[in-house]
Amino acid sequence: MFSAWLRAVLVLAAAALLVQCANPVAPSGGPRDTTPPSVASSRPTSDTVNVPTETQSIRLTFSEYVERSTLPEAVSLTPSVEGRLRFDWSGRTVRIELPTTLRDSTTYIVSLSTDLTDAHGVSLEEPIALAFATGPRINQGELAGRVVTPRRGDAQSGVDVFAYAAPDTGAARAPDPLPEQPAYRTQTGEEGRFSFDYLREQRYYVVAVRDNNRNRRPDPGEAVAPPPHPALPADSGAAEVPVPWLLTRIDTTAPALQQATARSRQRLRLSFNEPVRLATRRPEAWTLRDSTAGPRVPVTAVYAAPDRANTIVLRTEPMDSTRHEVALGPALVTDTLGQPLRPDTARFRAPPQEDTVQTRFRTFVPAEASPDTADVYPLLPGTAPGVRFNQAPDSAELRERLFVGDTTGAARSYTLSSDDGRTYRLSMDPPLGPGEGIEVRVAARPGGPDTTYQRRFYRVSSRRLGALEGRVLRSDTTLRVAAPERASARAARDTTSAPADSAAEMLVELRPGDTALPVDSRRQTGAAGSTFVFRRLPEGAYRFRAALDRNGNERWDGGQVQPYEPPEPLTWSSGPTEARPRWTTVLPGPLRVPLLRLAPPDTTADAPNAAAPRDTTAPADTTAPGRP
C-alpha cells in the first residue's frame, strides 16, 4: 500500500515538473513585475552581415521568462519564408527553426510585436526589431510616423502598421490590388508612434490597421488609416512623417436588410445590418403588398424604433394572415453617413393578432436640459422645444394631446416637424423673442387627460451668450527626402498637389465641453485664410477641429485603402477655449490644416498657406485676446 501511495506521489510530481518545463515561470513573491521583457542576446546577433544562407535557425534569449504561447503571434520574419516557423524552447531561450534556406544578399528582420508578454502578463511597450544580412550590407531605410484618432488627435497604441512596396512607376501610386501580405510590419507604441528600420531604400504604401483577426490584412469593419501620401520614401536617417495617420472605421458599404418581422396585423419591424436613418417619413413612399392576393396595404406611419438604432417600424392598415412584401429602395433609408439603402424586398408573414401598442409620451426635448431656480428650462437661440413618444402618433391625435401657450395661458400658434417620427419639434409662429416664455402640456392619452405632463421654456437672452472667433489656414507641410529619391519625390509632389485642394473649402467644427447650457456641435465652411465666428454660445469650454473638405460634403472623410483615396487633411485646437457672456473671444492662433508635400533637400519650401486666398474680411489683429 505504501509503495502504491509513493508511486502516485511520484507521478504527480513528475506531471507538475512537466507542466513547469512546458512554460517555466519566475518564482512568485516580491514586488509586482511591471518591466516588459527584452531580448538579452540573439544569434545571429543584430546587425551581423554575411550570415550563411544555410542558417537553419535563429536563437533569441530573453531577459526573463516569457509566456511562450504569445510568441508565435508576436514574431515575424521579413522577408517571409515558405513554410511554418517552429519553436524549440529551453528556459528563457527559444530556437526559431527555419523551414527553408535564406536568400542570398538579403536583409532579414526579426520583429517582435507588443503581443509578446512575460510570464506575469507584462507586454512589450513597443516592438523590437533585430536585423542581419546574408550579404555584405544591411538595408538602412527608415520610415516613421504617428497614428491618432480623427476626433481629437488622441494617440493610438498597439496598432499594426503595414508597409507595402509602392509601384516603381515614377509616379506616386498605391499598389492595386494590395498584396496578400505586407513587405514589413510593426506596431505603434504608447504615444502612437511607429518606426520601421532596416527597410530597403525605396517608396512604400503604409497602412495602419486595428488588426482584430490577426491576419495581417486590412479587412472590412476594422479601423484603418490610409496614409497621407501613397508613396513614402524610406531613407537613412529620415525624419518622422509630419502628418499623422488618422485611424477610423471607414464605412464604404450601403446598409442592407437583415430581417423583416411582423409584430401584429398592423406593425412591421425592419432590421438592418447597421444603424440607419429615415430618408423620408412619407407613408405613401412605402409600397407594402399582400403577395398572395396582390392588393396594396396602406402604410399609416413610419418611425425609427426607440430601442434599436438599426430598426425602422411601419404601422399599417390591418394585414391578412398571409405572405406580404415591401419594396426597399435608396430613397427610403440611409445609414448615418448618408449612404442609401441597397435595393431589396422584405418578405414576411403577417400574424393574426391585433396590435396592442399604445402611444405613450416619453419626454420633453431638449432632454439633456436642466431647469433654472424657477423650474423653467432655457432654450438657446435656434433651439426648438419638443416632445417625444414611444411611437409615431397620428397627426390628429398629436394635436389633440398637445397644448402650447404663453405665460398667461393663451394658446400659441406652432408648426410640428420630425426626423425620426417619434420626436417632434415645435416652431413658434411668431418665433420666441429673447426672454420670452411658453408652456407645453401633453395629455397622457387622448380624449381627456388623466395625467398631464407640462414644462415651461424660455428663450435665453443674448446677454448670457458669447462668441468664439478664429482663422483657418491651409499649411503646406514638407517632408524632405534624400537625394536618391529626388526625381521620384518631384513626381510624387507633382501628382499629389491636386488643383482641387486650392479650390476646396475649409470645414471648421466646434465641439462643446463643459458648458453652462447644453449645446450641440456646430460646423461652418469657408475659404482657406478666412475668419470663422461661432456666435450665441453659452459660457463654457469648446474645442475646434478643422479639415480640408475636398469633396464638399461638409463632413470629414477618412479616405480608403483600396482603391486608395487619401484622408482629408485634419487639425485640432491645442486645447479648450473659454466662451464668455457678451464677449467675442479670439483664438490665440490660427487652425493650420497640414497638406503633406514631398521635396528633395535642395528645394525651398513654399511659405505656409501660400496657396490660400487672402482674406480681406479678417480683423487686422487676430491674436487679440477678445473684444466685447
pLDDT tens track for 265-317: 999 999 999 999 999 999 999 999 998 878 899 999 999 999 899 999 999 99
Judge whether 113 and 127 are in contact, CB under 8 Å.
yes
Q: Cell numbers at residue 3, please?
A: 509503495
Exposure string of 168-183, with b = 16+ CB inside 10 Å and e = fewer, is eeeebbbbeebeeebb
- The structural domains of the chain, ordered by start, are 35-138 (2.60.40.1220), 257-349 (2.60.40.1220), 382-459 (2.60.40), 465-627 (no CATH)
Q: Which of 602, 571, 568, 591 is nearest to 498 (CA)?
A: 568
HEC string for 188-254: CCCCCEEEEEEECCCEEEEEEECCCCCCCCCCCCCCEECCCCCCEECECCCCCCCCCEECECCCCCC
- pLDDT score, position 308: 93
Q: Which of 589, 509, 595, 510 is nearest to 550 (CA)?
A: 595
Question: How many CB atoms within 10 Å of residue 31?
Answer: 5
> Which stretches of 54-202 are assigned E, i.e. beta strand?
57-62, 75-78, 86-90, 93-97, 107-112, 128-133, 141-148, 160-165, 184-187, 193-199
Query: Phi and psi of 494, rounded to 5°?
Result: -65, -40
pLDDT tens track for 78-132: 988 888 999 999 999 999 999 999 999 999 999 999 899 999 999 998 899 999 9
Exposure string of 555-591, with b = 16+ CB inside 10 Å and e = fewer, is ebbbbbbeebbbbbbbbbbeeebebbeebbbbbeebb
Q: Which of 455, 412, 250 is nearest to 339 (CA)?
A: 250
C-alpha separations of 63 from 91, 119, 312 in Å: 11, 11, 58
DSSP 573-605: -SS-EEE-TT-EEEPSS-EEEEEEEEE-TTSPP
Sign of CA dihedral 146, 150, 153, 157: negative
Mean pLDDT by runs of 10 across the 628 residues of the chain is 51 48 54 87 95 96 95 91 92 95 95 92 91 95 96 94 89 89 91 94 95 89 94 89 94 90 96 95 95 90 94 96 95 91 95 93 91 93 94 89 94 95 95 95 73 94 96 90 51 48 91 93 95 97 97 93 94 96 96 90 46 33 42
- pLDDT score, position 252: 75
Judge whether 534 and 522 are in contact, CB under 8 Å.
yes
Q: Residue 203 corresponds to which amino acid?
A: R
Q: Which of 396, 387, 391, 312 is nearest to 359 (CA)?
A: 391
Judge whether 566 and 224 are in contact, CB under 8 Å.
no
DSSP state for residue 481 in the 8-state scheme: -
Q: Cell numbers at residue 465, please?
A: 451668450
C-alpha separations of 33 from 29, 36, 112, 124, 310 in Å: 10, 8, 20, 13, 45
Q: Which residue has the cell 502516485?
A: 8
C-alpha separations of 204 from 236, 248, 419, 469 in Å: 14, 21, 46, 40
Q: Cell numbers at residue 388, please?
A: 417625444
Q: Round to whole Å and give the CA distance between 67 and 58.
A: 19
Count, residues in the chain: 628
Q: Cell numbers at residue 223, please?
A: 479601423
- pLDDT score, position 481: 76
Q: Which of 566, 571, 567, 601 is nearest to 495 (CA)?
A: 566
- 289 by Cβ neighbours in 10 Å (0-12 / 13-18 / 19+) ranks as middle
Query: Phi and psi of 347, rounded to 5°?
Result: -120, 140
Q: Round to whole Å and give the CA distance between 75 and 39.
A: 12
